[in-house]
Amino acid sequence: MCLQLPYQTIPKAQWDQLANGSSFNKFLLLAFADTRDLQLLHFSLFLGIYLAALLGNGLIITAVACDHDLHTPIYFFLLNLSILDLGSISVTVPKSMANSLRDAFSYSGCAAQVFFFVFFILAEYSLLTVMAYNRYIAICRPLHYRTIMGSRACVQMAAAAWASGFLNALLHTANTFSIPLCQGNTVDQFFCEVPQILKLSCADSYFRETGLLVFSACLYFRCFIFIALSYVQSFTVVLRIPSEQGRHKAFSMCLPHLAVVSLFVSTAMFAYLKPPSLSSPALDLVVAVLYAVVPPAVNPLIYSMRNKELKDAVKKLIQWVLFQQQ
């Protein structure tokens, strides 16, 4: 189980002594274990980000579900994305805040956190690929959009994204937690992350898990290539639109998704594929926050900022809630 020590500063030598004396079924989370001030800052910052993610994604889920005008493929996928964002941030941030207040964390809980986090993250990446395909069809083949993106096809594509995340999470979790730990048990991160656990493994097991990560990276690199090519073709068509209003509408459809994909893919790939020479506790912590905590909080803002239909639906929802309370 993961162990969080009290607030007071603990010398590194004592951390090492505890780590060497602990069995390999326990982990020490060290990301915010230095001082009480850092722990309080961590708790406050993560609490604000988590509440923002709950509010933003909750509003999008409720608005899309309740507004009949938003029952279209693009908003159906956006609803799924908001659910995945809520799931991914709820797996890591609340437990990290609890750890800052001296809460305990079991070994099985650490394995469950790895499974659900990988599940939500990889399912979200698959869903972003599906959303890129949806935008490609809407821009490049608008006359066939209703036929290709029917309700049944949308459900099947969303289900495939969720299933791919589940299968990959099952594979990674089973392989990661079946390896022996030979390098101690200190995890210099605010949650149980696969690359940090790999640092504790034996050399042979490390290469086996690294091979699995490379294999998964190759599969998802194909998704990245598909997203890039779809946007190249989409922008090519958009630039040919004679109407400035038409170009603005098309760019408004593409740019939020492109911003989300860029932030998510760049930080996640750097976290999992960066060479060991670039690894440092501070850098690993910043990158983990950028791909695990920031996107779920900012995605609702990015998607609603240039989307009049969604903003109107959210305004109607807020007005209805306020009216009901009067």
Whether the per-residue pLDDT at 6 is higher than 70: the answer is no
CA angle, 273 as apex, 268 and 276 as ends, to 5°?
A: 125
Q: Give the pLDDT confidence of 178-220 residue by residue, as tens digits.
A: 877 676 666 777 788 887 777 777 766 556 666 766 777 777 7
pLDDT at 49 (0 to 100): 92
Q: Give the pLDDT confidence of 46-78 residue by residue, as tens digits.
A: 899 999 999 999 989 998 998 888 899 999 999
In terms of pLDDT, which residue wins out, 245 or 296? Answer: 296
Q: Give the chain's domains with CATH numbers.
A: 48-91+107-181+203-325 (1.20.1070.10)
Percent of the chain's residues with pLDDT above 90: 22
Whether the per-residue pLDDT at 236 is higher than 80: the answer is yes
pLDDT at 224 (0 to 100): 83
The structure's pTM equals 0.83
Whether the per-residue pLDDT at 85 is higher than 70: the answer is yes
Highest mean pLDDT (candidates 68-72, 97-101, 151-155): 151-155
Q: What is the DSSP letter of 240?
A: T
Question: What DSSP element (H or E) covers 2?
Answer: strand 2-3
Confidence band, pLDDT 50/70/90 cuts, at residue 35: low
How far CA 87 is from CA of 46, 50, 132, 286, 288, in Å, comes to: 15, 11, 21, 21, 16
pLDDT at 298 (0 to 100): 87
The rounded mean pLDDT for the chain is 78
Among 72, 78, 136, which Cα is nearest to 304's? 78
